[in-house]
């Protein structure tokens, strides 16, 4: 996973992943252009998969709610469809969809990750379970949590399985373990990780821990820009960081080889040796 990518494309069984650390704003149209540009970068790198952050469709560091939400048949997902079909690149990206109406309270949104295949077909969604009610923030004032018993979002890309969690989920080991139990060999963590004391250390440490304890590669992509840390990472299943970005807008492309993951799992069979299981509750 740490060797330079081959300009001719990935050597199978490796899967090439482009991480796009963008800076979304409240301007939906401008954000869609960021998506187009990210697909162009991924296609130029001959990537199989493009990973975009939480809230790619629209982001406000003061909070994302119903005013920034759009339905899955809206222009953001339509742009993903068009770009995936045009480039043949699978994509995982974050958006917010309108929540269900509820008597007696303001309308909220649902923080949602979407996955589209190389033909542009929507193949799955994940609605964020753990809302960021911490460090002086109350995400639940603006968002509805996803159902805890929903099937995990695991996306197959050329035989390698990517399981998706979102931002604050990273602080809950059972979230990652649940997608690994569903067959994920790579954890995709899409974030807009808020700035603050020790926040970069928390992000890096937690992402590394999720890799080691699950003997899974981790692709952790964050928003850049105001109020967030950036610092996207790709981590091997033994905890070695193989690609990292700073706080600025940038992309990184890495080949992830399932034989490397299998070798780590053979040397360190911690998944086979465990004595507890994760259940929804």
Please identify every residue annotated as catalytic: 54, 128, 167
Cα gap 183→216, rounded to integer Å: 10
Between CA 138 and CA 62 the distance in angstroms is 10
DSSP assignment of 143-201: BPPPPTTSPP-EEEETTEEEEEEEGGGGG-HHHHHHHHHTT-SEEEEEE-PBP-TTHHH
* DSSP tag of 48: S
Buried b (16+ CB within 10 A) or exposed e, 41-74: bbbebbbbbbbbbbbbbbbbbebbbbebbbeeee
Radius of gyration of the chain (CA): 17
> Cα separation of 22 and 29, whole Å?
14
Backbone angles phi, psi at 150, to 5 degrees: -65, 150
State the DSSP H helix or E strand holding residue 220, giving kind and residue range, or none if neither.
strand 217-222
Classify strands 217-222 and 186-191 as parallel, antiparallel or unpaired: parallel
Say how many C-beta atoms besides its own lie within 10 A of residue 80's C-beta: 26
3 state SS of 229:
coil
């Amino acid at each position: 996973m740490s060797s330079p990518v081959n300009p001719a494309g990935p050597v199978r069984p490796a899967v090439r992943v482009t991480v796009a650390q963008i800076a979304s704003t409240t301007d939906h149209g401008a954000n869609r252009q960021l998506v187009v540009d990210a697909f162009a970068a991924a296609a130029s790198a001959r990537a199989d998969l493009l990973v975009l952050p939480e809230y790619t469709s629209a982001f406000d560091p003061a909070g994302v709610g119903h005013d920034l939400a759009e339905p899955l048949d809206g222009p953001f997902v339509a742009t993903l469809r068009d770009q995936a079909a045009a480039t043949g690149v699978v994509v995982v990206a974050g958006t917010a969809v309108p929540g269900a109406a509820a008597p007696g309270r303001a309308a909220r949104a649902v923080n949602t990750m979407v996955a589209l295949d190389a033909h542009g077909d929507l193949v799955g969604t994940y609605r964020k379970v753990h809302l960021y009610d911490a460090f002086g923030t109350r995400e639940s004032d603006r968002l509805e949590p996803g159902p805890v018993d929903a099937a995990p979002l695991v996306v197959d890309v050329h035989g390698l399985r990517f399981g998706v969690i979102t931002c604050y989920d990273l602080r809950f080991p059972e979230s990652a373990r649940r997608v690994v139990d569903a067959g994920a060999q790579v954890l995709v963590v899409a974030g807009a990780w808020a700035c603050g004391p020790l926040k970069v250390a928390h992000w890096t440490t937690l992402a590394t821990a999720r890799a080691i304890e699950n003997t899974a590669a981790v692709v952790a992509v964050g928003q850049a820009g105001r109020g967030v840390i950036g610092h996207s990472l790709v981590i091997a299943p033994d905890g070695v960081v193989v690609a990292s970005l700073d706080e600025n807008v940038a992309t990184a492309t890495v080949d992830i080889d399932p034989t490397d993951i299998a070798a780590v799992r053979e040397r360190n069979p911690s998944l086979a040796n465990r004595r507890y299981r994760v259940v929804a509750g």
